[in-house]
Amino acid sequence: MSLITAGEHPEKVAAAASFHGGRIAVADDPNSPHLAAGRISAVVYVAGAQDDASFTPEQAHLLDSALSEAGVHHTLEIYPAHHGFAVSDNATYDPDAAARHWKAIENLYRANLPG
């Protein structure tokens, strides 16, 4: 959702983040969020999870390439955790990955405050 929103409203979105997102870069999907890269002016932070069938290494590479080619300032990291790592009532919750996730959001927000 954050990548789609950043692409649809580049004048309103300064920063966008995705944590353990799924299907955000699917080569044969005409609605794949990575296709919005050329319209994104926001700073983007993406954190995937290792061994995540919904965001594979190939999808991570496709997303990274699309954002790089579009000139989007971005960071893409793969956390040593499982999909859903930041959701406290999820079986795959990982307190270390969740803490890292909250810190990344804080840093992204602070670095992109208006004014």
Q: Which of 90, 26, 58, 97 is nearest to 3 (CA)?
A: 26
- The pTM assigned to this predicted structure is 0.92
SS3 call for 11: coil
CATH number of the domain encompassing residue 73: 3.40.50.1820
Q: Which of 34, 46, 48 is nearest to 85 (CA)?
A: 48
The pLDDT tens digits of the residues spanning 31-71 come to 999 999 999 999 999 999 998 999 999 999 999 999 999 99
What residues contact residue 102 under an 8 Å CB cut-off, 6+ apart?
A: 86
Q: Into how many domains does the chain fold?
A: 1
Q: Which of 37, 95, 27 is nearest to 62 (CA)?
A: 27
pLDDT score of 114: 74
Nearest-Å Rg of the Cα atoms of the chain is 14
The pLDDT tens digits of the residues spanning 12-32 come to 999 999 999 999 999 999 999
- Evaluate whether 104 touches 17 at the Cβ level (below 8 Å): yes
Q: What DSSP state is assigned to residue 87?
A: -
User: Which residue range is the domain that position 98 belongs to?
Assistant: 2-111
Question: CA angle 20-17-37, nearest 5°?
Answer: 100
pLDDT score of 115: 64
